[in-house]
Amino acid sequence: MTDPQTVLTERVQQALAHAFGAEHADADPLIRPSQFADFQANVAMSLAKRLRRAPREVAEAIRAELSDFPGTVEVSGPGFLNITLDDGWIAAEAQSMLDDPRLGVGTVTPTQTVVIDYSAPNAAKEMHVGHLRTTIVGDALARLHEHVGNTVVRQNHLGDWGTPFGMLIEHLLDIGEEAAVGQLEAGMGTEFYQAARVKFDGDEAFKQRARVRVTTLQSGDPETLRLWHVFMDATVRYFNKVYGRLGVTLTDADLAGESMYNPMLERTCADLEASGTAELSEGALCVFPPGFTGSDDKPLPLIIRKSDGGYGYATTDMAAIRYRVHDLKAARILYVVGADQALHFRMVFAAARQAGWLPDEVSAEHVQIGMMLGKDGRRFKTRSGESIKLTDLLDEAVERATAAIADRGYDAATQAEIARAVGMGAVKYADLSVSHDSEYVFDFDRMLGFTGNTGPYMQYATARIRSIFRKAGMEPAEAQGTITSGEPAERALSLHLLGFGELVSQVTAQSEPHRLCAFLFETASLFSTFYEQCPVLRSDVAPEVRASRLALCALTLRTLETGLDLLGVPVPERM
Ligand code: ARG
């Protein structure tokens, strides 16, 4: 089965080559969905200009070449080609989509190794809502790339190293390992950090101990490293709890935190200096990638080693990019990280190119994640100004989902199961449905709504189709009828579904999960119209029409479920 727009593009290109010469075989026929037909091709206008001919005449010449086309082509207005596909063609293509286990989603050739850096919470602070979005978007991208056949290497670049660890380890010793582990596992990282901070700021002796501890940690003292592991293991157990609840695919094998690069930092600096990429400037080792200037027009430094000899965030990222290209053999590296780090990544990528660590054929992309805002339009926080604990947020989502489905008569276990899926689905879908780089207002009422482009609405759409099959007394997979074209609503739904494969390819290549959400939302809306206008199980419906409609229901269900699965949104069987 084939995407209609792709088929049309090829056909019109052939027509162009025939009518105007082979040099036009690669021209973009500018095919767009149209309100007057299925599609419209606008190439005649632009081509006419170049050929110095009348646009309508050019359009007519193209139309003449499309005589064996499975549909009708009309010239309208100044030279638009209005294209309407045959009902039979659409039905036959929908049928072959139903028969295709991949629903028309192709696999890429050649396959690529795609490194995806996502989630990356900071252990020294609480995992906050900003990390929720990088986690959810990153995980959807990982699922999409795997589905189209790429090799995905997930990298959870945890903030698990650096100066705060001196103070954190000393605080851990003060309160005792057991108490500390209990707090960290329970997600009280913020409280832990703040208590340590208060002592650090107010207690000179503690501050001194913390400073010494950083040095012993960095020099690899075994007992200090053991304490660091105690701290990190408890913290990671908490992160894993959150990942587990969200159904995020990250595992311990994907942990590649800042600490992992610690042994490479010295060489990173030495190599950058030796190759002349980095130079000393006021005691600090800096790269000045071309094209970056500050407000004073002075070249902007990427500081690789501070004047006190310390390494920073940029040092680690330089080591990481080299590792990802050289050791992980990345063809593409996606950094799913907050938009506020845009300058940092542009400079890291430029410096890595300069150093020859990032060859031209490897693409490094910052998938910018827009800030999470509260309803007041400010950075999302609790009323008292602290950042909101993730587990609390997820608890609230499930509580609200439970309330929303309370009156449906399910037993307690089923209700808990559905509420979990609805709550997590709502949070995840809300993060995914707006373009990743736009700011996003966190609003429980809206994301848990059962209408509009929301998780619950999408889940409800699939549950509704499942209930049709329950009423019919069959499994969706048993719907083997031949899809025939009938009513306009059936035709519109089928034509839309045919675009799924091409859309998934584009969404994956362009890191745009929100377009998959939009496609699925449109699918659910077209299904609603179909279901209103085309009875499926009513007794007066002829058996072959019923079979055809059930097959179309099955195709819609599989498309919705596959799409939601690629987004990582859970789908309950009932709602
Ligand atoms: N831990 C960082 C933060 O919370 C994000 C790390 C992103 N990845 C990277 N390679 N820098 O802002």
Which domains are seen in the chain, by residue range? 4-85 (3.30.1360.70), 113-159+258-373 (3.40.50.620), 163-246 (no CATH)
Task: Region of 385 please: left (phi>0), alpha (psi -120 to 50) or beta.
Answer: left
Ligand 1: atom nearest CA of 122 is: 1
Model pLDDT for residues 457-508, shown as the tens digit of each residue: 999 999 999 999 999 999 999 998 899 978 999 999 999 999 999 999 999 9
Q: Is 366 in the pocket of ligand 1 (CB under 6 A)?
A: no
Q: Is 324 in the pocket of ligand 1 (CB under 6 A)?
A: no
User: What is the Å distance from ligand 1's center to 347 Cα?
Assistant: 15
Model pLDDT for residues 101-156, shown as the tens digit of each residue: 999 999 999 999 999 999 999 987 766 777 899 999 999 999 999 999 999 999 99
> Bigger pLDDT: 66 or 564?
564
Q: Rounded mean pLDDT of 547-561?
A: 98
Q: Rounded mean pLDDT of 20-48?
A: 88
Q: Is 126 in the pocket of ligand 1 (CB under 6 A)?
A: no
Q: Is 286 in the pocket of ligand 1 (CB under 6 A)?
A: no
Ligand 1: atom nearest CA of 117 is: 8
Q: Is 210 in the pocket of ligand 1 (CB under 6 A)?
A: no
Percentage of the residues of the chain whose pLDDT score is greater than 70 = 98
Percentage of the residues of the chain whose pLDDT score is greater than 90 = 80
Statement: residue 23 has pLDDT above 90: no
Distances in whole angstroms, Cα of residue 3 to Cα of each of 80, 100, 495, 500, 502: 21, 13, 9, 8, 6
Contact in structure between 48 and 79 (CB atoms under 8 Å): yes
Task: Give the pLDDT confidence score for residue 126 in this predicted structure.
Answer: 64
Q: Is 317 in the pocket of ligand 1 (CB under 6 A)?
A: yes
Cβ partners under 8 Å of residue 326, min gap 6: 357
325 φ/ψ angles, rounded to the nearest 5 degrees: -75, -50
Among 191-200, 252-261, 315-324, the range scoring the smallest mean pLDDT is 191-200
Distances in whole angstroms, Cα of residue 318 to Cα of each of 165, 328, 342, 403: 22, 15, 15, 48
Contact in structure between 487 and 533 (CB atoms under 8 Å): yes
Spatial distance between the Cα atoms of 248 and 242, rounded to a whole number of angstroms = 8
Neighbours of 5 (CB within 10 A): 18
Q: Is 157 in the pocket of ligand 1 (CB under 6 A)?
A: yes
Task: Give the pLDDT confidence score for residue 564 in this predicted structure.
Answer: 98
User: What is the Å distance from ligand 1's center to 258 Cα?
Assistant: 9
Distances in whole angstroms, Cα of residue 294 to Cα of each of 50, 199, 288, 305: 45, 37, 11, 19
Cα dihedral value 138, 144, 148, 149, nearest 10:
50
User: What is the Å distance from ligand 1's center to 103 Cα?
Assistant: 36
Task: Give the pLDDT confidence score for residue 141 in this predicted structure.
Answer: 98
Task: Give the pLDDT confidence score for residue 384 in this predicted structure.
Answer: 61
User: What is the Å distance from ligand 1's center to 120 Cα?
Assistant: 5
Residue identifier of the C-alpha nearest atom 11 of ligand 1: 317
Q: Is 160 in the pocket of ligand 1 (CB under 6 A)?
A: no
Statement: residue 383 has pLDDT above 80: no
Contact in structure between 273 and 286 (CB atoms under 8 Å): no
Spatial distance between the Cα atoms of 211 and 494, rounded to a whole number of angstroms = 66
Neighbours of 92 (CB within 10 A): 18
Q: Is 337 in the pocket of ligand 1 (CB under 6 A)?
A: yes
Its pTM stands at 0.95
Pocket test residue of 156, 315, 337, 347 for ligand 1, highest count of atoms within 8 A of CB: 337
Q: Strands across the sheet with 151-155, in order? A: 151-155, 113-117, 332-338, 363-369
User: What is the Å distance from ligand 1's center to 208 Cα?
Assistant: 28
Cβ partners under 8 Å of residue 197, min gap 6: 167
Q: Rounded mean pLDDT of 61-81?
A: 89
Q: Rounded mean pLDDT of 82-102?
A: 95
Task: Give the pLDDT confidence score for residue 231 in this predicted structure.
Answer: 97
- The amino acid at residue 514 is H
What sign does the CA torsion over 349, 350, 351, 355 have?
A: positive
Task: Give the pLDDT confidence score for residue 27 in this predicted structure.
Answer: 83
The confidence band for 441, taking pLDDT boundaries of 50, 70 and 90, is confident
Task: Give the pLDDT confidence score for residue 197 in this predicted structure.
Answer: 94
The confidence band for 203, taking pLDDT boundaries of 50, 70 and 90, is very high
Task: Give the pLDDT confidence score for residue 353 in this predicted structure.
Answer: 98
Q: Rounded mean pLDDT of 270-298?
A: 95
Cβ partners under 8 Å of residue 350, min gap 6: 289, 290, 291, 292
Among 71-75, 358-362, 366-370, 495-499, the range scoring the smallest mean pLDDT is 71-75
Cβ partners under 8 Å of residue 220, min gap 6: none
Task: Give the pLDDT confidence score for residue 486 in this predicted structure.
Answer: 82
- Tokens representing 432? 């995914």
Which H or E element spans position 390? Answer: helix 390-404
Task: Give the pLDDT confidence score for residue 412 in this predicted structure.
Answer: 93
Statement: residue 418 has pLDDT above 90: yes
The confidence band for 1, taking pLDDT boundaries of 50, 70 and 90, is low
567 φ/ψ angles, rounded to the nearest 5 degrees: -85, -15
Model pLDDT for residues 323-353, shown as the tens digit of each residue: 999 999 999 999 999 999 999 999 999 999 9
Residue identifier of the C-alpha nearest atom 6 of ligand 1: 120
Residue identifier of the C-alpha nearest atom 2 of ligand 1: 120
Model pLDDT for residues 273-284, shown as the tens digit of each residue: 999 999 999 999
Q: Which residue has the tokens 């009422």?
A: 445
Pocket test residue of 125, 129, 155, 157 for ligand 1, highest count of atoms within 8 A of CB: 157
Q: Rounded mean pLDDT of 54-72?
A: 89
Ligand 1: atom nearest CA of 341 is: 12
Spatial distance between the Cα atoms of 228 and 565, rounded to a whole number of angstroms = 37
User: What is the Å distance from ligand 1's center to 203 Cα?
Assistant: 30
Task: Give the pLDDT confidence score for residue 385 in this predicted structure.
Answer: 62
Spatial distance between the Cα atoms of 87 and 70, rounded to a whole number of angstroms = 9
Task: Give the pLDDT confidence score for residue 481 in this predicted structure.
Answer: 87
Length of the chain: 575
Spatial distance between the Cα atoms of 56 and 73, rounded to a whole number of angstroms = 13
